[in-house]
Amino acid sequence: MTIVRDKIFIGGQWVAPQGSGFIDVIDPSDASIYARVPEGAPADAEAAIAAARDAFDGWSRASPVERADCLERIAEGFRARSDDLALAIAHEVGMPLKLAARVQVGGPLGSWRHYAQLAREFEWEARVGNSLVVREPVGVVGAITPWNFPLNQITLKVAPALAAGCTVVLKPSEVAPINAFILAEIIAEAGVPAGVFNLVTGYGPVVGEVLASDPRVDMVSFTGSTRAGKRVAELAAATVKKVALELGGKSASVVLDDADLAAAVKGTVSNCLLNSGQTCSAQTRMIVPRAKLDDAARLAAAAASSFRVGPALAEDSRLGPLVSAAQRDRVVGYIRRGVGEGARVVAGGADAAPAGEGFFVAPTVLVVDDAKATIAQEEVFGPVLVILPHDGDDDAVAIANDSIYGLGGGVWAGSDEHGLAVARRIRTGQVDVNGAPWNPLAPFGGYRQSGLGRENGVYGLEEFLEYKAIQLRAG
């Protein structure tokens, strides 16, 4: 049965949109229509901005404890509807259900709780000489979020923004919006004041561009492609609003000569294939010692081939479909281009997808000699790992840094000390050493064309704050 949402959330109410169209949400596991949501018009975005503007004064003056209490109620409602959220994301994105529950829902739940706690503990003001330096909310925030980790990216914008005292207009991805509707219901039931959170669905060039350009919006926080991020920044520049961008990546896993090769390959393949490779920080380039290239390719092929591809709701699926037919075709096109430029296929390939109506691509491993090849430089956003040879630490670092991006990465070495020394030389926002786990309290963001600003932890809260210095007379 197709879910139909015919209202958007503005000023604390579910209201009929001024736009008359609908957008189909496609289940990538079988290409069926999972849901329909409103195709918002510019007037809808403008109404939401007005509601957020009206609510800002009251919410920004609420005490941090009051805001923390609201976030805790949201977290409790979030927990109660975790199953609904996981099922929605499995249908929208195609991530296998059990993994979606753990990654796509479990992580955001922890973040809501964290920002409630942080609102209580954060140092909101401090004396510096004869000045009182206070931290104040930046204002009305336009949040534009992607489809690959939809609820996580919504949470990492909305939760810290609300904790900071900002009001928010959210435009979720039209590809995966149902989880955002569920979250809006949770926020409404938590008693958050009217206008503090608003939800408008629609297309980026329509709704998103209003958020980026409207002078009543003080900050726009965007996660998505580098191309779209450049457009957001261009529009935001006209009103000199604050901009946070979390964009693309082509992250490298650097395997040094003294590393445990089997562990390095297994860890890199798992990282690369998370969410069917639709992860901005995925380690999609594995740079290995030239003498170990064939061994690395053999191990990677075996690891990739062990991932069972199937529908998101199938019990034995380990790798789901890509999110859309367009995304599948894009990834297959990159594989074909890689082969055309000399890449050697050791697992998967353009024609190895399982049969079915869904948008499947087999996990693919390519060996590439030229680090300048298209497949080694451009973000594919699919289950494709490129293996490149290096000739020592200096060469490995040079290859890793030869990218317009700088979001994530990894280093595998015989000791953590060796790995850390090389990690310090890699120009990227995050680097894992010897498979160290993800830390949700550490800053996440990128160098160069991977974006501006940071998310997660206190660093994510500070993105939504301004400094004010109040000079006081002595005595």
* CB 355, CB 304: distance < 8 Å: no
CA neighbor of 406 nearest in space, from 420, 426, 387, 424: 426
Count the neighbouring beta carbons within 10 Å of the beta carbon of residue 385. Answer: 30
The type of residue at 282 is A
The type of residue at 376 is A
Distance CA 277, CA 380 (A): 8
The type of residue at 178 is I
Q: Please pick, among 246, 379, 455, 463, the residue that the annotation labels catalytic.
A: 246
The tokens for 445 are: 């963001």
Question: Helix, strand, coil: what percent of the chain each, to 5?
Answer: 45, 20, 35
Q: Please pick, among 280, 379, 455, 463, the residue that the annotation labels catalytic.
A: 280
Task: State which H helix or E strand residue 405 sits in.
Answer: none
CA neighbor of 108 nearest in space, from 77, 70, 139: 77
Distance CA 201, CA 223 (A): 16
Distance CA 179, CA 87 (A): 9
The type of residue at 264 is A
* CB 369, CB 328: distance < 8 Å: no
Can you name the residues that pair with 246 across neighbouring β-strands? 223, 451
357 is catalytic: no
70 is catalytic: no
The residues assigned a catalytic role are 246, 280
